[in-house]
Amino acid sequence: RKEVEQDPGPFNVPEGATVAFNCTYSNSASQSFFWYRQDCRKEPKLLMSVYSSGNEDGRFTAQLNRASQYISLLIRDSKLSDSATYLCVVNKGGTALIFGKGTTLSVSS
Amino acid sequence: NAGVTQTPKFQVLKTGQSMTLQCAQDMNHNSMYWYRQDPGMGLRLIYYSASEGTTDKGEVPNGYNVSRLNKREFSLRLESAAPSQTSVYFCASTRTGGIGETQYFGPGTRLLVL
């Protein structure tokens, strides 16, 4: 199993849709989990950290399932501005981070 | 605050040429990182510096050297560029390098090696 795996997409959805991204990770010792957002030809930026109990930030909800080593990101009421690549990021024991290849989202009007 | 800055933004090199990519942060962060991003690949760590005066290899260090010049600046040097080093290079920093900290990225340097 790859260290961090994501469905590359692209996910093409209309405005207002709900879309979910999944990510699996291989290192059971991983302790910190994140979703970063990367716009085309730009640097990655933190979207949200992912906590064991799950967490929500506006239209975005992140879930963590440690038993299945699985992370998800749910985006409700998609906006055109949500079009980007979403990177699943997991720490590799210690503080080193492993980045997934990213899932591309395209929201159309 | 400018955050993390990188120079140059773009560079074209011929095989065998050398160059240094510069990175600086004004957030008083202790830890700094260099990544490369290739099409269809996740970001891969080249080198990192947990604190001023220390550097360590990441996942893909071959062909690169780094210098943590001071707390603000962390440079990446290609001594003899190869086409396989064509990539987008991102510098990042974190406050202390602790688990769970946000990484702040610079805008990237796009490098083409012919």
Residue A64 in this model has a pLDDT that exceeds 70: yes
pLDDT band for A6, please (50, 70, 90 cuts): very high
Check whether A94 has a pLDDT greater than 70. no
3-state SS string over B86-110? Answer: CEEEEEEEECCCCCCCCCEECCCEE
Q: How far apart are CA A44 and CA B77, in angstroms?
A: 22
Select the residue of A42, A49, A96 nearest B45 (Cβ to Cβ). Answer: A96
* pLDDT of A27 strictly over 70: yes
Determine the pLDDT at residue A57: 95
pLDDT score at A1: 67
Q: Are A37 and A47 in contact (CB under 8 A)?
A: yes
Band (pLDDT 50/70/90 cuts) for residue B1 is confident
**Residues in chain B whose Cβ is within 8 Å of chain A:** 31, 35, 40-45, 48, 50, 58, 90, 94, 97-103, 105-108
- B40 interaction partners in chain A (CB closer than 8 Å): 101
CA B47 – CA B15 distance, rounded (Å): 22
Token pair in block for residue A23? 């990510």
